[in-house]
Each structure stands twice: as C-alpha cells, then as structure tokens.
Amino acid sequence: MPSWKDVRADFPILHQQVNGRPLVYLDNGATTQKPRAVIDALVRYYERDNSNVHRGLHTLSMRATDAYEGARARVAKFVNAADPAEIIFTRGTTESINLVARSYGGKLGRGDVILCTEMEHHSNLVPWQQAAKASGATLKFVPFIGANAEGGLDLEALDRLLTPQVKVFAFTHISNTLGTINPVAELCRRARAVGAVTVIDAAQSAGHAPLDVRLLGCDFLAFSGHKMCGPTGIGVLYGRFALLDQLSPDETGGGMVVSVDFEGAKWKPAPERFEAGTPNVAGAIGLGAACDYLDSLDRVAIRQHDDELARVAYEKLATLPGIRLIGPTGERGGLVSFAFEGVHAHDVVTFADEDGVALRGGHHCNQPLMRKLGLTSTTRASFYLYNTAEEIDLLVASLRRTLKFFIG
C-alpha cells in the first residue's frame, strides 16, 4: 500500500489554491474527488472505444460492450455479489432506491408495513412514502436514542416494530449527517427472521469500507459512483438474483426486451430488464476504474484512516466554545456534523471557504432528522483517503476565526 501522501498525489484537483489558500476539501460526503486513474479511464474510453453497447456488430461496439460488461463484473467483485447479473447500473443511489421502491413496492398492499429509520436521507425516505401511498402499506420508523442521536438506533424499539407485517426494511449503512454506523448484518438477520426484504443505502459506506453483500446478508444495496472516486451519473443497485427475477421493470424501452409486438413485450432477465435505453457506458467504465483504484489500496486501511480523522476532528472540535456535536460519541464513519448557537451553518461554510476549506452546511437532505434534533441545519466536515490531520487543524483555525467574528 502506498503512503497516504502518495495517495493524495493521485488526485490532481487537490493541488490548487482556493481564495489564495491551499484547498482543504472536506465535503466528501457530498462527492469525492477523482484519481488520475479514473480520469484516464474516461479519456481512454472516449478517445478509443466510444460506441453504443449491446447493439452493434462492429469492433468499437464490441469493445464498448466488453468494457461495460467488464465494469459490471468488476463492481460485482467489489461488493462480493454471487453473479454480475445481480448488478444493475443506475444514475446513483437515488435512482437505485426508486427502482426498488417502485418495482418491489408494486408487490405491497394494505396491511403491509414498510420500515425505515429516523436517520434516512430523503433518497431512502421519499421513495418509500410514495410506495406506501401507491400500495396502501403503512410506513413506520425506527427511532434513534439521545438528543444528539448519540445512542444510535433504538434496537429495543426495532424488536417491537419488526413484526411479520413488515415486508421491507430500508435503512442506511452510515448516516450522512450523524456519522452513525448501523450494524447492517445484525439488522438484516433480524429482518430475515420476520420475512422482510432489506434495502441498504450504502451511499456513505461503499467507498469507505469493505462491503460484502453476502456477509451482510442484505437483499438490495444501493450506492453512487461519485462518492467513491468514480464519475457522477453512475450508480449501482445490487439485488439478490432470485428477487430481481420476480420484479417487473420500473422503466421500459429499448435494450430490456426479448421481443415486442404491437400488443405487448417480453422482458429480458436481470440486469438488462432494469436498464432501458442507452446506459451510461463511460460512467460504468469509470466506476470500474474506481473499484480498481480502491482495491489497489487497502480498503480496511481506508476505513481506519477516515474514521481516525473523524475521531481526531471530533476531539478537536469539542474544544470550540458553544459547539454542539451531533451523532455518536464513540465509533463513527468519516464525518462530523456540528452546530453553533447563534451562527448559521451557511455563514460557517462561507467563512471557511474564504480560508480555502470546503465544508457543507444545511439540512443534508435529512429534514425530518433535523427537526427531531431541534435544528434546521448543521455544518459538516467529511473526510476521505486524501485528507490529513493538518487539514483538521486548518479547519479548526478557520472555525475559531468565524466564532471570533460572530460571537467575539
């Protein structure tokens, strides 16, 4: 494994100044930067192989098809899926969850329960609200413990909520606002015991930790390429093949049919059944290159690196006057959210930007969670494999300057 300094050198965008200061990019929860290897894979594809897939018989089309299907096999290996056919390419986590909520949601009816948690991103909440409305199913939520959600999910409440009526249990692996790491394997085991299908939102974990769908025992798992060194506009829905095989497509058109007549059509099996139209070929190839890149490093070491930065950040931020730190006090994913009494998160982010520090401020697509915390917004610093302990010191110095300006 190369040194972290060498890893940082792989990311061309990081070597620039913003507002006259070296860029300190701490908005990785929103999107991560891209290593040279991923940028090169995209350029190579467009310079050499660009063509439509699955349709042409000419050389470029065959090359593009091989590269696209190769990327599918690569992603399958990345999450240890049993078969590449279990990998559906989508635009991202949001589209992946919508696909399950619409397709699997079509099997639900009155009396059924969809279970989510109170810490879900809107992308793993609103599609289930829509599925509940369309089917007559009831939507319920596993609460979290503590005024700052420091206690994680309330697993005793989960015991009460997980009844045989629960048909879907959809929850996040790592919360994008709290940093909470949910015990996915344990939650999947409990869901399976009542016959519920599990849908895991892995948007914040896929690029940060080893992910093994068979070890986790999940039925569906969604993630985005752009949050794991890959391009935007490409994402993944993993689904257990036996389940995918029972589902109807949520989108129809070219490429996903075996035969069509004027009256109707017959679907191909998964994954083609769920990929109507020309797919994001370059995106998939870029995502395959991102998997190669992350696997060329040590994914356990990446997790330790990011979590350690979050731990150090949490400790140093705790020394700031009037700060309210959100989320777990112990083990957490690679991000820290916080709020200051009397200073709006947007002001914090704007001041940090003047110092070259990129943060995110707002509700992070977690409005119900924010309301439960009694907040409208937080500031969030989120870390990745190229961040350093020195950058945390720059963050803290910038926040001190902001506090001095607003509070004195």
Contact residues for ligand C6P, defined by CB under 6 A = 29-30, 92-94, 121, 123-124, 172, 176, 201, 203-204, 224, 360, 364-365
Min CB(199)–ligand C6P separation in Å? 11
**100 neighbors 202 (Cβ within 8 angstroms):** no
Report residue 143 as tokens. 């609460």
Min CB(274)–ligand C6P separation in Å? 16
Q: Which is nearer to ligand C6P, 305 or 360 (CB)?
A: 360
Nearest of 279, 307, 273 to residue 384 by alpha carbon: 307
Q: Which is nearer to ligand C6P, 201 or 306 (CB)?
A: 201
Q: Reply yes or no on whether 365 is catalytic.
A: yes
CA dist., res. 90 & res. 325, Å (int): 35
Name the catalytic one among 188, 218, 229, 365: 365
Expressed in angstroms, the distance from the first to the final Cα of the chain is 46
Position 387, amino acid: N
Strand partners, 362: 378
Distances (CA, A) of 399 to 115, 180, 231, 331: 39, 23, 31, 24
Q: Which is nearer to ligand C6P, 64 or 153 (CB)?
A: 153
Q: Which is nearer to ligand C6P, 148 or 204 (CB)?
A: 204
Give SS3 for 272.
Answer: helix
Min CB(3)–ligand C6P separation in Å? 28
Min CB(168)–ligand C6P separation in Å? 16
Distances (CA, A) of 241 to 106, 168, 227, 246, 323: 18, 17, 25, 9, 47
Residues catalogued as catalytic: 365
